[in-house]
Structure formats: structure tokens, C-alpha cells
């Protein structure tokens, strides 16, 4: 995997479904913008590619597909996401925050019994993030949050499956640089403050 050679910094926020990535992405974006940084906030899967549209139908259980074929779709969507949005923004000197990236492929794919090394090899040509935050929230809490917000429980949001997914996420700090696990069961403001501090120390960002 390639280190980011561009002026902008690439940040990823990961976690189980229901762990709060979307909320923390928005808060980090606000923090960075207040400190004068241009920010692109994005997420995976996208709805910009044909692969991304197919993924959404599969996750909503409208279409059935083999696990490896699903992860190939994620990888193709990611390839286009990088080429069309992430890399141009980094080249322009923007901060890019992505709600999910290839760590999701590793964790969710492995939970389906796919080989972790094969999944990593499929994504080997892609950029390493400058900072990755993995929000640690128990599967039971994640499912409760999903039910509370009234959205349908999708393919990857079953409690036993989420427990298997977390086993791989927990390995990521040992396998990849600049990956930090953050306790996501605290008040939102406490989590956001820790993420801000990690951004400051890792990316040399000064706080207001």
C-alpha cells in the first residue's frame, strides 16, 4: 500500500455499523474547517459508481451475491472513489475524511470467512490513510442504536456478525500504521475531543 504523497491529509473513520462514524466525521470536519483547513467529507460505499449502486441493493438484501463478489464490488467502487474524489482533493491540498475505507472490506469480508490476506492484496495498490480512527462500540450497543433510529437492519448489522467483524478491526492497529482504537461508548463530545487530539498529534494540526 502506498503512503500519501500529496499535500492534503487523508483521514478515515471506521467502526461497526451504529458505532457513530457519521457523527464523528461531521464533528471532525467542523473542527478542521474552523482551523482554516478545506475539507472533503465522503463515505464508502459511494453512490457514484455502478459498483456502489449494486452494493447498496445487496446490503439492503434486495439482491443476493457471493461474499467475494461483494468485496470485489467494494474494491472497484473504492478504486473509482480514490480516482474521482479522494486523490484530486488531496492533490489540491484538502483534508479528506472518509466514513469507511478498505478496513471495512477487511473486517466485514473476513467475518464472512474470506481470507484476510487475500482481501488486503485486493486493496494493495490503494493509499494508506494518514490517520485512521476505529470506534470501539459493542455489537449489542450498535444494534440498539440502529433500532432506535428506526432504520432497517441491513446485511452487516446482525449482532453475531458484528462480533466477528470487530475481531478483525481489533487487529488493525498492529497491522497498519497510524490506526487508533477509540472508545465509542462515551459521550459524543468526549469521543470528538480525543479524535481532535489524535488529529493534532498525528497531522500537526493546531487547535483554536
pLDDT of residue 13: 98
- Is 4 part of any domain? no
Q: Residue 207 above 60 pLDDT?
A: no
pLDDT at 154: 67
Is residue 127 in a domain?
yes
The length of the chain, given as a count of residues: 208
Looking at per-residue pLDDT, the higher value among 205 and 53 belongs to: 53
Q: What is the CATH number of the domain that holds 182?
A: 3.40.50.300
- For 37-66, how does the pLDDT look when each residue is reduced to its tens digit (9 = 90+)? 999 999 999 988 999 899 988 887 778 899
Instruction: Name the domain count of the chain.
Output: 1
98, 42 contact by CB (below 8 A) = yes
- pTM confidence score: 0.92
* Complete DSSP assignment for 119-169: HHHHTTTSBPPSEEEEEE--HHHHHHHHHHTTPPP-TT--HHHHHHHHHHH
Domain that holds residue 183: 10-203
Which pLDDT band, with edges at 50, 70 and 90, does 146 fall under?
confident
Amino acid at each position: 500500500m502506498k503512503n500519501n504523497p500529496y499535500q492534503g491529509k487523508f483521514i478515515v473513520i471506521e467502526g461497526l455499523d451504529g458505532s457513530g462514524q457519521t457523527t464523528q466525521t461531521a464533528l471532525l470536519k467542523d473542527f478542521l474547517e474552523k482551523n482554516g483547513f478545506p475539507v472533503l467529507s465522503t463515505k464508502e460505499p459511494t453512490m457514484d459508481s455502478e459498483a456502489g449502486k449494486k452494493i447498496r441493493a445487496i446490503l439492503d438484501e434486495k439482491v443476493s451475491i457471493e461474499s467475494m463478489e461483494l468485496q470485489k464490488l467494494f474494491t472497484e467502487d473504492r478504486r473509482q472513489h480514490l480516482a474521482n474524489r479522494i486523490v484530486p482533493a488531496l492533490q489540491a491540498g484538502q483534508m479528506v475524511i472518509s466514513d469507511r475505507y478498505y478496513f471495512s472490506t477487511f473486517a466485514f469480508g473476513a467475518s464472512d470467512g474470506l481470507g484476510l490476506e487475500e482481501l488486503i492484496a485486493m486493496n494493495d495498490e490503494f493509499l494508506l490513510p494518514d490517520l485512521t480512527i476505529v470506534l470501539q462500540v459493542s455489537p449489542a450497543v450498535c444494534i440498539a442504536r440502529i433500532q432506535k433510529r428506526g432504520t432497517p437492519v441491513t446485511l452487516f448489522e446482525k449482532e453475531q456478525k458484528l462480533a466477528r467483524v470487530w475481531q478483525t478491526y481489533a487487529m488493525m492497529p498492529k497491522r497498519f500504521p497510524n490506526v487508533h482504537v477509540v472508545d465509542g461508548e462515551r459521550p459524543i463530545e468526549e469521543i470528538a475531543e480525543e479524535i481532535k487530539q489524535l488529529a493534532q498529534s498525528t497531522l500537526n494540526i493546531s487547535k483554536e
